[in-house]
Structure 1
Amino acid sequence: MQRTKTENRSDANIIPVAAVLGAVLLWGSAFAAMKHLVGNLNPWAVMWMRTGIATLVLTPFAARLAGPVRKGKDRVALALMALFMPCLYFLFESYALTFTSATQAGLVSASLPLMVAVGAGIFFKEKTSVWGWSGLAISMLGVAALTMSGAPSADAANPALGNTLELCAMACAAGYMLLVKRLSASYGPWTITAVQNAAGCLFFLPGLYLLLRDGLGPEPGSVLAVAAYLGAFVTLGAFGLYNVGMSRLPAGKASAFINLVPAIAAFFGWIILDETLTFLQIMASGIIFAGVAMAQRGERIRQDLKRICGLAVPRADTASR
């Protein structure tokens, strides 16, 4: 029985969609794991362990999976991508989690898809509608409300500073995603992933000194297990999966899955760290999600209303007949 083009296209989308969903699940769980590690180690040591373990795992397969890097502008773009992610992104996020809770940091990440959409409009000339800009503004308002409503607590010593640093991390992540979309036309996902991990391992090399100086803290077994999970599964696995998805899906569609990260982060923050949100923080979270929903669904709603009105109200030339 011959398959239709629609069925073949649907099957072709299953792999990249599943890859992006897997990456999002891993990223959502990383907030609680990172919060645990930065409570025991210096953030630089944590970041070196993440990128170092990921590089160690990938190295035996690099010759088979990763291809050569061409000279010229590609090297500049790859270097900028690696600077954004993992270098600056990990730096901002690791320090953010020393000041705010994993749940609040995860909620701030809801602003990422809108940053990607705006960036695509600026750099790729993709049009951003009024709904998109309005959604971004509302989402940023929600992030500000979440930041201002957070009072210091045992799991969030300075939420205003922590959430601001997390927002900086999201800006770096947006730059990374836009560059990956450009580079994926020339390089395979594992080449991009290998460049990221090698650059991060070098950038966070001072963390190795801190690790050797201070050790693994009072719970070395727990720290090693969590670091292995973050390095092998989140740093390597999630980036690899997401790069696979970005190479086969539109940037906007791939980044939209990031909306699941806050819910996943809040779930793991509650289960693992026993974190909770105040009523004001829940309201602020609702504002963030409302902005995201407006940006993603607003234009479709406008088109639906226009079509309905067009059907309900006859045109002047038709009515005169």
Structure 2
Amino acid sequence: MELSFKKTTFPWTTVILIAPFFLWGTAMVAMKGVIPQTTPLFMAGVRLFPAGLLVLATAAITHRRLTVSARGWWWIALFALVDGVMFQGFLAEGLVRTSAGLGSVMIDSQPLAVALLSKFLFGEVINVWGWLGLSIGILGISAIGIPDDWIYSLFHGELVAVDWSWQTLFDNGEWLMLLASLSMAVGTVLIPFVSRHVDPVVATGWHMILAGIPLFGFSWWYESEQWIHLDWQNWLCLGYATIFGSAIAYGLFFYLASLGNLTSLSALTFLTPVFALLFGNLLLSEVLSPLQTVGVCLTLISIYLINQREKLAQWLFKSDHCINTENDSATEIDSQLVQPPLALNLNQSKPEIILEE
């Protein structure tokens, strides 16, 4: 059975759908600007724990159901481990070792994993347009994130050697971002299960709080000088990442995920690297190469194909149906044109000639 987005009475529905990905992209830039002055695990905890309190406060103000069953707590704990501790931990550690735009690109390779998981778990339909869009999206984010020299070397029949040894694997920022991407994909498909037992907004708040506690614990144990070098501008950037990049963005995203088609919603995450690269260029002077520009265009095409796949399939079906109908009509007319004007009625004992119009 395929999940479909429910009709909403909210104005500016498109803005609401895009908002989480805009906030994530710009929050990535804000965190990259702060990371030289702090430590990754502390930053991850700051991004989650206060945001969870804000989400729960919003849920209480809007009179959402705050009670959680015993089974609901188990789902929230699993959700916190995967989408909180693992996702934010890998993201923060990876951001130290890569740029904001590239990090966002690697994280947003997760729609393919979401599509596959949703297909097997929820029976979501991914037609040929959806697979085409996902494939183009992967090409797009690859063009954005893979170094240009490596891509150009492939066209010349060469291959740049890359060290993938296990000793240096976790020092590779792109690998850590890929692990963050997979964690987010699993967290996304967990939401429908969590929302069966807990209000999705309440679950989002609690999972942030529960994930923030071990992140602060790891930071206290392994890191030092977490906030000594932070000035008011750094705290302002952390506040933006916490309030807008976590509380508002995650609240909107997981609320929408509980309502609709996970493949279509997750496909919009291809927008996040676009925003991250744009604002990274404006604020951090991260330059967009020609190949990355092509990747942005491919990304936008993939978003259109994935989110319009059902309409495109219906349009194609109607077009084929119209062509078949026209062919049937033409065949009927041709058969009438070649039909002889005279016919014999042999059922009569005495044959007679019948003139047909």
Which TM-score band (shorter chain)?
Answer: 0.7 to 0.9
Structure showing the higher helix proportion among its residues: 1
Correspondent of 1:50 among 27, 43, 47: 47
* Structure 1 residue 24 corresponds to structure 2 residue 21: yes
Correspondent of 2:312 among 264, 276, 301: 301
Structure 2 counterpart SS, 1:31 = helix
Contact 2:267 2:306 in 1 (8 A): no
Q: Which runs of 5+ in 1 are unaligned?
A: 1-8, 153-157
Structure 1 counterpart SS, 2:109 = helix
Letter in 1 for 2:227: L
Q: Percent identity?
A: 23
| Structure 2 CA distance for partners of 1:10 and 1:181, relative to 1, 3 Å | closer
Q: Distance in 2 between matches of 1:11 and 1:55?
A: 25
Q: Which runs of 5+ in 2 are unaligned?
A: 1-5, 151-168, 336-357
Structure 2 counterpart SS, 1:111 = coil
Q: Could you say what the CA RMSD is over the residues aligned between the two structures, in angstroms?
A: 3.4
Map Cα deviations across residues 27-46 of structure 1 (whole Å, 9 max, x no partner). 12111011112222221111
Map Cα deviations across residues 269-313 of structure 1 (whole Å, 9 max, x no partner). 122212112222333444444444444445643543343243235
Contact 1:19 1:242 in 2 (8 A): no
Contact 1:107 1:285 in 2 (8 A): no
- In our comparison, the structure showing a higher alpha carbon Rg is 2
1:232 corresponds to which residue?
243
Paired residue total = 306
Q: 1:163-182 alignment to 2 at 5 Å?
A: 163-182=174-193
Q: Distance in 2 between matches of 1:90 and 1:150?
A: 28
1:94 corresponds to which residue?
92
1:35 corresponds to which residue?
32
Q: Distance in 1 between matches of 2:253 and 2:246?
A: 11
Contact 2:136 2:301 in 1 (8 A): yes
Structure 2 counterpart SS, 1:37 = helix
Q: 1:128-147 alignment to 2 at 5 Å?
A: 128-147=126-145
Contact 1:180 1:243 in 2 (8 A): yes
Correspondent of 1:202 among 200, 213, 235: 213
Contact 1:111 1:288 in 2 (8 A): no
Structure 2 counterpart SS, 1:126 = coil
Q: Return the offset for 1:268.
A: 1.7
Map Cα deviations across residues 2-61 of structure 1 (whole Å, 9 max, x no partner). xxxxxxx86625487654443233212111011112222221111122223224545666
Structure 2 counterpart SS, 1:204 = helix
Q: Distance in 2 between matches of 1:292 and 1:222?
A: 35
1:319 corresponds to which residue?
331
Structure 2 counterpart SS, 1:127 = coil
2:252 corresponds to which residue?
241
Contact 1:45 1:211 in 2 (8 A): no
1:115 corresponds to which residue?
113
* Structure 1 residue 69 corresponds to structure 2 residue 68: yes
